[in-house]
Amino acid sequence: MLSIIIPCLNEERAIAEVADKFRVRIPMLRKHFGNVEILAVDDRSTDNSAQLLKQHSDVYITIVNETRAGYGGAIKIGLRRSIGKFIGIMDMDATYDPADFVTLKMKSQENDEVLLLGNRIHRDSALNGLRWVGNSLFKSMFRLALDSKIHDPSCGIRIFKRQWLEEHLTTLPDDLSFAFATSVMCAIQKKPFVQENVHYYHRIGESKLQEFRDGFRFLNVAWRLSRDTKARLHEKSL
């Protein structure tokens, strides 16, 4: 079973379109994953998001947070309420196509991968100029500093093996760097992963990402996780 967790903050303009995408894709998701549940975790949006999510209750299981939890915090809350062996995440902004959960699963052959990761850095992607440059820099950083072949470490559509994600939940951040941090964790631990090109469309509604502020946060997370993991490995070897 696949549990798809979608953090949501002030996305009233995209919620209906994302629900429509799911209505078309649910039969195919069921075929490949056995069953699927879609948990939308609203973080006390100040627009109509919570009401709209509930209007599309044929698609979404809606969770409304009591206090703001952040992007990563919302995923952690969704995880606790979900039951799937596989955990998918994506955005509530219509940039992704839920069919790509199947694209990622088809790419996985071994079954020992902890992460199935989308890649938005390709010709048909709507990734814009500054984001393209920033994400290409992350790709180089992964190759040079972490010796990893991960192409798009901050891509927002991905599937985790539940057990692996749960093992690291306390170490992972609650803010927008959560998904990126899981890529760092996978690279440091040299865990098996697969990656595949995914659709990436222009966003509906306002982005919550501030390129420079969040870019530096992402780098800080990479540095902190590398330092802590190396320290733990060193302790183990003593």
Q: How far is the CB of 155 from ligand GTP (least distance, A)?
A: 9
Q: How far is the CB of 76 from ligand GTP (least distance, A)?
A: 10
Which residues are within 8 A (CB) of 235 and not within 5 positions of it... i.e. 6 or more apart?
A: none
Instruction: Decide if residue 7 touches ligand GTP (CB under 6 A).
Output: yes
Q: How far is the CB of 93 from Mg ion (least distance, A)?
A: 4
Residue of 1, 194, 209, 219 interacting with ligand GTP (CB under 6 A): 209
C-alpha 187: how far from chain center: 16
Among ligand GTP, Mg ion, none, residue 70 binds (CB under 5-8 Å by kind): ligand GTP
C-alpha 120/C-alpha 91 separation (Å) is 14
Q: Which of 224, 107, 210 lies closest to 171, judged by CA? A: 224
Q: Which of 215, 212, 109, 200 lies closest to 156, judged by CA? A: 200
Instruction: Decide if residue 13 touches ligand GTP (CB under 6 A).
Output: no
Instruction: Decide if residue 92 touches ligand GTP (CB under 6 A).
Output: yes
C-alpha 90/C-alpha 96 separation (Å) is 7
> Please, are residues 76 and 174 in contact by the beta-carbon 8 Å criterion?
yes
Instruction: Decide if residue 208 touches ligand GTP (CB under 6 A).
Output: yes
Residue of 4, 8, 159, 184 interacting with ligand GTP (CB under 6 A): 8
- 3-state SS string over 24-58? HHHHHHHHHHCCEEEEEEECCCCCCHHHHHHHCCC
DSSP state of 163: H
Residue of 82, 95, 119, 197 interacting with ligand GTP (CB under 6 A): 95
Q: Facing residues of 159 across strands?
A: 88, 116
Among Mg ion, ligand GTP, none, residue 209 binds (CB under 5-8 Å by kind): ligand GTP
Q: Distances in Å between the alpha carbon of 230 and those of 12, 49, 146, 223?
A: 42, 41, 12, 11
Instruction: Decide if residue 87 touches ligand GTP (CB under 6 A).
Output: no
Q: Which is nearer to ligand GTP, 128 or 171 (CB)?
A: 128
Residue of 3, 11, 50, 180 interacting with ligand GTP (CB under 6 A): 11
Q: Which is nearer to Mg ion, 128 or 163 (CB)?
A: 128
Q: Point out which residues bind ligand GTP (CB under 6 A).
A: 7-9, 11, 41, 43, 70-71, 74, 91-93, 95, 156, 176, 203, 207-209
